Structure 1
């Protein structure tokens, strides 16, 4: 094998003809698990696009994530 997830490169994680990286959606982003998960995934170099969803407004989480200087959008 390839040694598991640690051997993945961003260039290998793309849809046909798409940009490299994973598109990730966090459901429940304002919750106790969604907030730290959003921050961790924003720092992950394999994530190229991060969407945050919740039934309540989550401006604090959105602001925190938007201030992180990473390549994910």
Structure 2
């Protein structure tokens, strides 16, 4: 799109930190885990929420060990 720029400073929620807030449902599954890794590595993402009915604390811990500035939080249920 002409006239718009997609960078971290222009991607922010109202009153929030720069970057997209992303939620992944089914984060402990075969698609959710690789997707969580990709989102953790994406420089446009600032907050990553991982949801699953089981195993999301383990996946959250694994993803948090990656050295990026993305804040990761895991949720069960």
After TM superposition, is the score higher than 0.5?
A: yes
Shift of 1:56: 1.2
Aligned ranges for residues 1-73 of structure 1 at < 5 Å?
1-2=1-2, 7-73=5-71
RMSD of aligned C-alpha atoms? 1.9
Count of aligned pairs: 71
Q: Looking at secondary structure, tell me which structure has more strand per residue.
A: 2
Structure 1 residues 16, 34: closer, same or farther in 2, change over 3 A?
same
Shift of 1:71: 1.0
Q: Looking at secondary structure, tell me which structure has more helix per residue.
A: 1
Unaligned 5+ runs, structure 2: 72-77
